[in-house]
Amino acid sequence: MLKVKSKASRLVATAAAGVAMAFSGAAISQELPKTMVWTSYDVGSAGYAEASAMADAFGKKYGVKIRIMPSGSSIGRLQPVLTNRADVGWLATETFFAAEGTEDFAAKRWGPQDLRVLAGRPAAFGLPAAADAGIKTFADLKGKRAAFVAGNPSVNVKCEAYLGFGGLTLKDVEVIMFPTYGAAMSSIAQGKSDFTCTTTTPSQMYELAESPRGITWIGAPADDKEGWARMRAIAPYFGPGIETVGAGISKEKPAALMSYRYPLLAVRADMTPDEAYAFVKAMDETYGLYKDATAVMPRWNLAQSGKPPGDAPFHEGAIRYLKEKGIWTAEHDKWNTARLARLNALLAAWEVTMDTGMSLSDKQFAALWAKNRQAALASLK
């Protein structure tokens, strides 16, 4: 498992692209550092826009300088957090993969990572397609060009799950791999692909909706029990939801999509309780400054974003503040205890796998880890 450095080696970040805000004389919130580094999706993504809005609010109220490191890959967003070059990751489902030791994180150099959640905005994930591509149902996707992102299982696995909901596999479509998230999302309007899978609010989706191609969303209705069973076999972190905000979506034209948490604010487990408490408190105290920045920013209200489920256990410092606010319940404690037990079981299984399998080939090691991982999870039942 990748080791992290001590908290003492915090980077002093420089201002970047209008999101690092310094205000002399501003009061610093309890235990908030004077400088922070956050990671996020590419510029133009919903995550980057939301991180920028919150960074601006932190700067205005507390004088904190924040630099945002955008990356189109899961590893690019998570590795700076794990190596102590970033404080907070505005992440997607790579948090789940990292905590579980799956996908990219099943390799010897990774393994399950000891991560914690501070908060996570409720979000919708869907399958947007070019309206002029003749795609109205899942069956219409056969043979169409699917935009995937290289090195980004957070998008790709969820897209595979979405196809699975409709009874399709990757063999039923033409997968085109793009080097970055931004390139993949832009490819539909540019005529380089026909559909992709993403949240409803990236700037590229609004651009698609306004382009000559137009946009349509393929839904995942809650009453399709067989579809949901197929989907959850691939991505168990999804649930049904109705979205009213996004490109081509409104209260008058809602879409039945999949719900999960994105962006998810993930940190290392070694963040101190006081630091985690101060961050979540700052989120709460600056809410009025960022809530109108985008159509979905009101969902960062802690009454919505400060609750399980999440892709990893919640941090004890975050829980302390959420309890003070009357948001965190006994049921939430029960969920978090079980999620922490699962993570600890996987961490222990990984240590055993590394002790006995380091000399194995990558293929043999993967088989051993898969066996030990399943045994660890079975022991929790």
Whether pLDDT at 236 is above 90: no
Mean pLDDT of 24-49: 79
Mean pLDDT of 80-85: 96
Residues of the chain with CATH 3.40.190.10: 7-121+262-353, 124-260
Residue pLDDT, tens place only, 283-325: 999 999 999 999 899 999 999 999 998 999 999 999 999 999 9
Cα separations (Å) of 358 from 16, 103, 346, 353, 361? 41, 18, 17, 8, 8
Residue pLDDT, tens place only, 67-80: 999 998 889 999 99
Mean pLDDT of 257-276: 96
Q: With b meaning 16 or more CB within 10 Å and e meaning fewer, what string describes 82-103?
A: bebbbbbbbbbbbbbbbbbbbb
Q: Which of 19-33, 234-248, 254-268, 290-304 has the lowest mean pLDDT?
A: 19-33
State the pLDDT at residue 111: 97
Whether pLDDT at 339 is above 50: yes
The pair of structure tokens assigned to 362 is 């990558």
| Amino acid code (one letter) for 115 | L
| Amino acid code (one letter) for 235 | A
Mean pLDDT of 167-176: 97
Mean pLDDT of 20-29: 39
Give Dmax over CA atoms of the chain in angstroms. 60
Which has more confidence, 24 or 366? 366
Separation between Cα atoms, residue 59 and residue 50, nearest integer Å: 14
- State the average pLDDT for the chain: 91
Mean pLDDT of 358-377: 96
State the pLDDT at residue 12: 34
Domain made up of 7-121+262-353: CATH architecture: 3-Layer(aba) Sandwich (3.40)
- Comparing CA positions, the residue from 254, 309, 250 lying closest to residue 122 is 309
Separation between Cα atoms, residue 344 and residue 185, nearest integer Å: 36
Whether pLDDT at 10 is above 80: no
Spatial neighbors of 40 by CB under 8 A, at least 6 apart, are 47, 48, 51, 68, 69, 70, 71, 77, 89, 90, 263
Whether pLDDT at 20 is above 80: no
- Comparing CA positions, the residue from 205, 268, 381, 313 lying closest to residue 10 is 268
Spatial neighbors of 226 by CB under 8 A, at least 6 apart, are none
Residue pLDDT, tens place only, 98-111: 999 998 899 999 99
State the pLDDT at residue 63: 95
Mean pLDDT of 53-58: 98
State the pLDDT at residue 30: 58
Residue pair 65/312 in contact (Cβ under 8 Å)? The answer is no
- Give the domain 124-260 fold: D-Maltodextrin-Binding Protein; domain 2 (3.40.190)
Whether pLDDT at 357 is above 80: yes
Whether pLDDT at 198 is above 90: yes
Whether pLDDT at 2 is above 80: no
